Each structure stands twice: as structure tokens, then as C-alpha cells.
Amino acid sequence: MKFTLGLGSRAWRVSWERPGEGGCALLGGARRISSPRPVRRGSRLARALPLCLSRGGGARALPDCAGPSPGRLGARQLAGPRAMEQTYGEVNQLGGVFVNGRPLPNAIRLRIVELAQLGIRPCDISRQLRVSHGCVSKILARYNETGSILPGAIGGSKPRVTTPNVVKHIRDYKQGDPGIFAWEIRDRLLADGVCDKYNVPSVSSISRILRNKIGSLGQPGPYEASKQPPPQPALPYNHIYQYPYPSPVSPTGAKMGSHHGVPGSASHVSIPRSWPSAHSVSNILGIRTFMEQTGALAGSEGAAYSPKMEDWAGVNRTAFPATPGVNGLEKPALDADIKYTQSASGLSAVGGFLPACAYPASNQHGVYSAPAGGYLAPGPPWSPAQGPPLAPPGAGVTVHGGELAAAMTFKHPSREVADRKPPSPGGKAPDGLSGLHGLPIPASTS
DNA sequence: CACGTAACGGTTGAG
DNA sequence: GTCTCAACCGTTACG
């Protein structure tokens, strides 16, 4: 099924089949769909979703309730089967759209923090952004703890054997003897005492390292290739995981393709794992340096790191303004931050206040491709009688798009690791948006 | 009513 | 190329 409105579950599942996933996504997230648990929150939900809940007849009182309301979804469905196949998502109780298992776009995360800093209560932020309060709580807690709005590293596992040191040695071996075999490297690691028999990388691991990391050093590997070509048409990564965010502004579905001039249309940020940042193989291997030397780094730093850069190459390249101050960035940081672009046009509701969040197709398939605005309620039902809900005029925390973009875009290496662990004792104090990421804006581009 | 958090099903990516 | 596993995700519901 592609679209389900589960009243009983209270969480509407709106899913567009994704290749290979069948309807699984439909069951994700709200596990208690058929939970025997007494629905004692019905009333509350009813408040939150006055009409969205209504079966079929529904949304009258909340005709345009933000997020894909049933009606909206309908519109999307009308967009055609193709679109249906390419996008999917779910709608939470508040009417917000989310992708189960995937982080909220950074724009939203940022917005949450911003609003919190403006004194908005978490519950209100939750309602306004249509993000579950649990999530708001989590994000704020995380921010308070780490000073970063970025989600944690998803997937993978911490290197158990391929430590930076090991990788370094592998690189050395490889550079010393380009024709060396993986098993030879393995032997040498043992012989040199770099590893012992218990933690020596397997041949396959070494091969992978050679292929994915080191390989790019000596040859115009995929990474380089992906960055060299001139802005190629943005890859349709969007289709892979298009967020069915019906742009509140343009519910018709025109929304997806390109957003208000945002190249690549991707308004998504895929959050990279951050733990590896501490010992980013690429960095360790000096790939970045290499890239810099080739001059390819500017504006496309990330390209040098992502093993799957080709997936989102075009976007980054075109959407990302060449900016100084990228040195020292590691892949993780870039993966995450590079996605932010200066263009604020991508954020309908946040626009002007936040830099657009261009989500290049990351190496992750789950990409929110719609503008963050899609998350936002066009007009909060609970609407505070104040002006633009999301763009508090002169709300103290106003930040220059560019300035913020800078903050969002580049992460200081030293903070990299910090993302995960509260690094800076004092650094977490959100000092204005410039520090929202927990990323001090590098004064000097170094 | 607001909020912290466990449980849950999901995604991801290194090994 | 496939599988495993442990990390993370956001939502839901409990307390």
C-alpha cells in the first residue's frame, strides 16, 4: 500500500513505495500502531490534528494543515505513479512529515534550537514545527550538551581494526609499493608490529581501505572524478528518497524538483556519522590536502571524502559557494555541513532567516529533498497571533544568511569530534546562532 | 499541560 | 556481493 491513513494508530502513515522496501516503511516509526494500549491521548491528538484525523471526510477545519494532510497527499498522489515511487514519508501526529529512521533536516533542527533560544517553549516549538516533542526535547538536549544541532553518526561501526594508525601504515605501504597486495600489507602490519594477530585488519578490510580510501590518492578515482566535472545536472538523488513534503507553498507537487532556485533542489542534509571524524581515514590519508593541491577543494570539499560522492556531486558543486575557511574540514563535517547553502530560498518558511538547506544526495539514500519549509506549518493552527511565526523580526538572534551559512557550512575541525562528546566545556553555551552548530565560525579560514 | 525518556521500528555503513 | 551488528534516527506513549 502506498498510502495509509491509520486513524487507530494516530500516526498516519504515508508512504510511497521505495524500491526494495516494499511497504515496510509503513510500519516503521510508530510501533504501536495496533497497540493494545488504551488510546487515552485521543483528545490531545484531536487537538493537535483537529481534522487531519478525520477519516476521509476530514480536514475541513484544518484544510491546509501543514504537512501532508490527507488532502495534500492526495495531491501528491496525483502527481503520478512515478512520483509515488520516488518519495515516501510518514506523517506524525502533529501533521509533520518525517522519514522514519532518518534525521530531521538540519534546517529544522536549527529552527528548533533557534526557537528555543528565542524563549519559545519546547511544546510550542513542537507544535509549530510539527515535530514530536520527544524529538524537540532530544535535539535541544543534545544541543545543550554538545553545542551541536547535528545528529549523531548513523550507521557503520567504529573502526575496530582500521584505526588511523593502521590506515596510515597501509597508506605508507601502498605508496611505497603501489603493487603491494592486501595480504602483503597485512603481513607487514603484523611484522611491523602495527597490529597484532588479534586486531590486524582482514585482507578484505585492507582491500576496502585501499579501494575506498587510498585508491583515490594515486589516481583520479571516483572521488576526484566526481568533483572535476563541471556542474553536472544534479543527480536525481532526490528521487531516491524524496521527502513527500508537499511544500506548503506549492502543494501541487511542483515542489520537488527544484526548489526555488536551489540548485539540485535538494534541500536536504544528510548527517554523516561523526565518530569517524576523529580519525577520518580520508583526512588521515591526506586526501584533503591532495584535493587542495589540485584546487578541487574549493566549493566541493566534500567531494573528496564521500565514497559515494558521485551520488551528490553535482549538487554540492553547484549549490555550494566556494568559500574560504574550509581547510581542515573532515569529511563528516563536510558531509553534513556542506549541504547548507547560502540560498535561503529553499526554505519557504524559514527563508530569509536561515540559509537554505540544500540537501545534496548524500551517500545516504534517505534524503529529505524538500525544503524545510515543507515541515513547517504554513499557518499554524494554533497560530500565535504574532507575526511570521518562523521569522521573528529582529528577534535578537537574527543572523545573516551568509553568516549563518558559514556557521552551518563549515565546521571547525577541532569541534568535529566534539560533536559527539561535549567537548568544549564552555563552548556549548549557544552564543547566538553563530555557534548553533557548535561550530565556531572560523575567523580565519585556515 | 509540559517534559524527560524508554520502547520501538526503521536506516545506515564498517567490518 | 551479502550479511551482521551496533550505532543513530524520530515518533509514540508512559510517567
User: By mean pLDDT, which of A87-101, A134-148, A177-191, A215-229 is the weakest?
Assistant: A215-229
CB A143 within 8 A of CB A137: no
Chain B footprint bases within 7 A of protein beta carbons: 1-15
Per CA to C1' distance, which residue is closest to B5?
A134
What the block records as the C-alpha cell of A327 is: 581547510
The Cα A87–Cα A18 span in angstroms is 7
**Confidence (pLDDT) at A21:** 33
- Of the candidates A425, A319, A327, the one whose C-alpha atom is nearest the C-alpha of residue A362 is A319
Which residues neighbour strand C (beta carbon < 7 Å)? A 9-11, 29-32, 35, 37-41, 45, 90, 92-94, 96, 98, 100-104, 109, 131-135, 138-139, 142, 151-158, 204, 271, 420
Cβ density class A163-197: b for 16+ within 10 Å, e for less = bbebbbbbbebbeeeeebebeebbebbeeeebbee
In-domain check, residue A363: no
In-domain check, residue A183: yes
Domain extent for A95: 90-146
The separation, in Å, between residue A310 CA and nucleotide B3 C1' comes to 43
- Whether residue A141 sits in one domain with residue A101: yes
CB A313 within 8 A of CB A339: no
pLDDT in tens, A279-318: 333 333 333 333 333 333 333 333 333 333 333 333 333 3
User: By mean pLDDT, which of A148-152, A174-178, A401-405 is the weakest?
Assistant: A401-405
Higher pLDDT, A423 or A97: A97
**Confidence (pLDDT) at A135:** 94
Cβ density class A351-377: b for 16+ within 10 Å, e for less = bbbbbbbbbbbbbbbbbbbbbbbbbbb
Q: Mean pLDDT across the stretch A362-391?
A: 40
Per CA to C1' distance, which residue is closest to B8?
A31
What the block records as the C-alpha cell of A401 is: 544568511
| CATH code assigned at A185 | 1.10.10.10
Band of the pLDDT at A127, cuts 50, 70, 90? very high
In-domain check, residue A182: yes
Higher pLDDT, A198 or A345: A198
**Confidence (pLDDT) at A162:** 65
Nearest nt (C1') to A99 (CA)? Answer: C10
CB A69 within 8 A of CB A92: no
The Cα A268–Cα A360 span in angstroms is 6
* Mean pLDDT of the residues in chain A: 49
Higher pLDDT, A132 or A378: A132
Per CA to C1' distance, which residue is closest to C7?
A155
Q: Mean pLDDT across the stretch A241-256?
A: 37
Sign of the alpha-carbon torsion through A212, A217, A221, A224? positive
In-domain check, residue A138: yes
The separation, in Å, between residue A31 CA and nucleotide C15 C1' comes to 19
Ranked by mean pLDDT, the top range of A57-66, A186-195, A221-230, A329-338 is A186-195
Residue type at A388 in one-letter notation: P
The Cα A134–Cα A40 span in angstroms is 18
The Cα A312–Cα A417 span in angstroms is 24
For A247, list phi and psi in degrees, rounded to 5: -60, 125
The separation, in Å, between residue A284 CA and nucleotide B15 C1' comes to 19
Nearest nt (C1') to A167 (CA)? Answer: B14
The separation, in Å, between residue A273 CA and nucleotide C10 C1' comes to 17
CB A365 within 8 A of CB A415: no
Q: Mean pLDDT across the stretch A111-130?
A: 93
The separation, in Å, between residue A40 CA and nucleotide C13 C1' comes to 9
DSSP conformational letter for A441: P
In-domain check, residue A180: yes
pLDDT in tens, A336-359: 333 333 333 333 333 333 333 333
Whole-number percent of chain A with pLDDT over 90: 11
Query: Taking 50 as the threshold, does the pLDDT of residue A134 lie above it?
Result: yes
**Confidence (pLDDT) at A200:** 74
The Cα A282–Cα A74 span in angstroms is 45
Band of the pLDDT at A196, cuts 50, 70, 90? confident
- Whether residue A176 sits in one domain with residue A131: no
User: By mean pLDDT, which of A96-105, A113-122, A371-380, A389-398 is the weakest?
Assistant: A389-398
Per CA to C1' distance, which residue is closest to C12?
A30
Nearest nt (C1') to A123 (CA)? Answer: B2
The separation, in Å, between residue A35 CA and nucleotide B9 C1' comes to 13
Whole-number percent of chain A with pLDDT over 70: 24
- Whether residue A98 sits in one domain with residue A133: yes
In-domain check, residue A125: yes
**Confidence (pLDDT) at A133:** 94
**Confidence (pLDDT) at A54:** 31
In-domain check, residue A119: yes
Query: Taking 80 as the threshold, does the pLDDT of residue A329 lie above it?
Result: no
- Whether residue A126 sits in one domain with residue A95: yes
Per CA to C1' distance, which residue is closest to B7?
A31
Nearest nt (C1') to A103 (CA)? Answer: C9
In-domain check, residue A124: yes
CB A199 within 8 A of CB A161: yes
Higher pLDDT, A158 or A356: A158
DSSP conformational letter for A14: E
**Confidence (pLDDT) at A321:** 33
**Confidence (pLDDT) at A184:** 81
The separation, in Å, between residue A90 CA and nucleotide B10 C1' comes to 12
How many domains in chain A? 2
What the block records as the C-alpha cell of A249 is: 507553498
Q: How far is CA A282 from the centre of its chain?
A: 20
Nearest nt (C1') to A154 (CA)? Answer: C8
Query: Taking 70 as the threshold, does the pLDDT of residue A53 lie above it?
Result: no
* Cell 535561503 found at: A344
Nearest nt (C1') to A141 (CA)? Answer: B4
Other residues' Cβ atoms within 10 Å of the Cβ of residue A443:
8
Sign of the alpha-carbon torsion through A161, A304, A414, A399? negative
Chain C footprint bases within 7 A of protein beta carbons: 1, 5-14
**Confidence (pLDDT) at A137:** 93
The separation, in Å, between residue A205 CA and nucleotide C7 C1' comes to 19
The Cα A416–Cα A329 span in angstroms is 8
How far from A321 is each of A278, A339, A351, A405, CA to CA, in Å?
A: 26, 10, 18, 10
How far from A24 is each of A17, A88, A141, A335, A424, CA to CA, in Å?
A: 9, 11, 30, 28, 41
What is chain A's alpha carbon radius of gyration, rounded to the nearest angstrom? 23
Query: Taking 70 as the threshold, does the pLDDT of residue A243 lie above it?
Result: no
The separation, in Å, between residue A167 CA and nucleotide B15 C1' comes to 14
Per CA to C1' distance, which residue is closest to B14?
A156
How far from A189 is each of A274, A276, A362, A399, CA to CA, in Å?
A: 27, 21, 33, 51
CB A103 within 8 A of CB A349: no
